[in-house]
Structure 1
Amino acid sequence: MSDMTPPWEQGVFAALKAENLADWRAYTDHAFVRGLGDGTLPEACFRHYLVQDYLFLIHFSRAYALAVYKSDSLEDMRQAAATMDALLNEEMQLHLRYCVQWGLTEAEMAQTEEASGNLAYTRFVLDAGLSGDLLDLLTALAPCVAGYGEIGLRLASQGGADIAGNPYRDWIETYAGDGYQSVVTAALAQLDRVASARIGGDICRSGRWKSLSKTFGAATRLEVGFWDMGLSPNHAG
């Protein structure tokens, strides 16, 4: 993707990001992210984050299942189902690879108590989908799927040759890799397609723009809170 404009710099997502740029930068350039990039993040912080993120992905998989239900077309149903499959059968494997090193089983991870930051974020997204339509749900989901793609590519490019010695290399390479990047591209293309079908024309001038931007901004701030949670491994919140 080095010779192409990244999907998060195009279309509806780019407009939402520009409208919430301060929150977006706080999310994608968080201290937790910088610690991943240079390998200085304490292992206890990463371990706490990763177990919580495993639980997070379970709920996000449910959100994409809801997106299947909310879809008006087979194309959107298939896209939402494909993203759910990537979460359940690919992304969660990254978490399991790390946790095996720490002697944690999948069953033990699934029984871990959810931190308050995790509860707040996942229930916000599910509520956006249950109370709104597919566009509301995809807007709430977008900061997660696109943000990790953007972060992964940036950290991979910044790490250069030094990434070989980074304890978080597997995490970085997963989100910078072609497999995950294709998930981002497809998910944001779906956001564009659904916005066009439901709103048409210039989304920024539509009556729904303020509400969609508010949802996107809230989800982005909840991502910041998730990183904050990761930096506090001994605090339930």
Structure 2
Amino acid sequence: MTPDPGYGRVFALWRAAAGPAWESYTRHAFVAGLGDGSLPRAAFLHYLRQDHVFLFHFARAWALAAAKAETLGEMRLAAATVAGLAEGEMGLHVALCAREGIDKAALLATEEAPANLAYTRYVLEAGYSGDFLELLAALAPCVLGYGEIGARLGREAGATPYREWIDTYAGGAYQAICRDVGALIDGAVERRLGPGFAAVPRAGRLAERFLTATRLEAGFWDMGLAAGPRAA
């Protein structure tokens, strides 16, 4: 497995427990295509449009995390993540699509694909039916997985038309978010389950929540990749 990117103790445990599913997500053919430039442009644009929809619901989930927080620090970080998604990542998608002739109105009118619907509602359901930890376990694969992918591609990728996307997630600002979220998860888990949390029965249930979200992330890449040949 790819070396642990260093986003915290709990993430390292969840990541290891996910096993091959984590590699299937972070080293998916879609990701490889971003790195070597072979990803069809149509597949990338389909992904961008769907990811813009995804980020809206993902921001809703982080807003829910703020409501479920037990400390001011947890609330502040969750709220800051909502702002970062709305003002940062979603803005990147708007700019990239605009260059391809997809204006903001068309982007906002994007119909949500079934794989997108399944993933976003799974994350929201984790928050509605569970507590702060359940929600963090469902949110973590996206935030921290993109950090790991971005950091690796930032080091390894050569000339590729997807360099701006890579640089966003490899960049210092996004990597700082990953470290902050990893620290948030560590603190939240230890606060609620104690310093020996890894041996608590509930730890396994949280790891399963993380694993399911990881598999849904891989399905999201599948969705994007499948769009290329049809749209070419």
Q: TM-score range by the shorter chain?
A: over 0.9
Read off the aligned partner of 2:197 and give its amino acid letter: I
TM superposition score normalised by structure 2:
0.95
Superposition map of 1:12-31 within 5 A: 12-31=10-29
Structure 1: gaps (5+ residues): none
Aligned to 1:37: 35
Moved over 4 A (4+): none
1:131-172 deviations in whole A, cap 9, x for unaligned?
A: 00001101100000000000001011002xx33xx1101000
1:50 corresponds to 2:44:
no
Aligned to 1:87: 85
Match of 1:97 among 95, 98, 101: 95
Read off the aligned partner of 2:193 and give its amino acid letter: I
Q: Give the match's secondary structure for 1:44.
A: helix
CA contact (8 A) 2:94 2:107 kept: no
Match of 1:169 among 160, 163, 169: 163
CA contact (8 A) 1:63 1:126 kept: yes
Aligned to 2:128: 130
Read off the aligned partner of 1:152 and give its amino acid letter: G
1:75 corresponds to 2:69:
no
In the TM superposition, what is the alpha-carbon distance from 1:85 to its structure 2 partner? 0.8
CA contact (8 A) 1:12 1:203 kept: no
Q: Give the match's secondary structure for 2:201.
A: coil
Aligned to 1:154: 152
Equivalents in 2 of 1:204, 1:50: separation in Å? 37
CA contact (8 A) 1:149 1:180 kept: yes
In the TM superposition, what is the alpha-carbon distance from 1:15 to its structure 2 partner? 0.3
TM superposition score normalised by structure 1:
0.93
1:32-67 deviations in whole A, cap 9, x for unaligned?
A: 000000011000000000100000000000000000
Read off the aligned partner of 1:182 and give its amino acid letter: A
**Total equivalences in the alignment:** 226
Read off the aligned partner of 1:218 and give its amino acid letter: T
Equivalents in 2 of 1:105, 1:62: separation in Å? 23
Match of 1:182 among 146, 170, 176: 176
Read off the aligned partner of 2:184 and give its amino acid letter: Q
1:215 corresponds to 2:214:
no
Structural RMSD (CA): 1.2
Match of 1:229 among 195, 218, 223: 223
In the TM superposition, what is the alpha-carbon distance from 1:106 to its structure 2 partner? 1.7
In the TM superposition, what is the alpha-carbon distance from 1:109 to its structure 2 partner? 1.0
Equivalents in 2 of 1:45, 1:195: separation in Å? 38
Percent of residue pairs identical: 51
Read off the aligned partner of 1:7 and give its amino acid letter: G
Equivalents in 2 of 1:23, 1:53: separation in Å? 21
Structure 2: gaps (5+ residues): none
Bigger shift: residues 94-103 or 211-220: 94-103
Equivalents in 2 of 1:122, 1:133: separation in Å? 17
CA contact (8 A) 2:50 2:112 kept: yes
Equivalents in 2 of 1:185, 1:171: separation in Å? 20
Equivalents in 2 of 1:97, 1:226: separation in Å? 21
